[in-house]
Amino acid sequence: MKMARVESAVRAVLAFYEAFNRHDVAGMMQLVSDDCVFESSAPAPDGMVYSGKGAVTRFWEDFFRALPQAHLDIEKIQGFGMQCIARWRCDWVDAAGNQRHLRGVDLFQERGGLLCEQLSYVKGAGGGEHRE
């Protein structure tokens, strides 16, 4: 297997997170398939599933409206061909002006150079406390 193929999911995920940190939803959506599935961490305990590019786009637009200072740092990333696991920390300022953060893991699946699945998990009670 060629190295480019082995690393394809990692490259796609890194580009996705770069667009995330720019709050560039259009840039994020260029990296996902039309039939993508995103499973968020909220509401606890099972999260919510968003299917299709339109639903996932609306999720991220709402997310950045609620958390306009959100920034994600990758703590560790590992690829397994068309799959990728990324551990991250997301920092933001809440409505009261307090610094907040969550740590979590995203499991990605890539197909044909595009991300087709993202499953998000967070540490801590309640899981989705980043939603305001």
Q: The domain that contains 74 carries what CATH number? A: 3.10.450.50
CA dist., res. 4 & res. 73, Å (int): 24
Would you say residue 70 lies in a domain? yes
23 touches 124 (CB < 8 A) = no
What confidence tens digit (pLDDT) does each residue in 17-43 have?
999 999 999 999 999 999 999 999 999
Domain-embedded: residue 36:
yes
In a domain, 130, yes or no: no
Q: Is residue 22 part of a domain?
A: yes
Q: How far is CA 24 from CA 10, 27, 84, 90, in A?
A: 19, 5, 21, 16
pTM: 0.89
Q: Which domain holds residue 108?
A: 3-122
Structurally, how many domains does the chain consist of? 1
Task: Determine, yes or no, domain membership for 131.
Answer: no
| Burial of residue 67, with CB atoms counted within 10 A of its CB: 0-12 exposed, 13-18 middle, 19 or more buried | buried
pLDDT along the chain (132 residues), means of 10: 70 97 98 98 92 98 95 96 96 93 97 96 64 39
Q: Is 128 within the bounds of a domain?
A: no
CB of 74 within 8 A of CB of 87?
yes
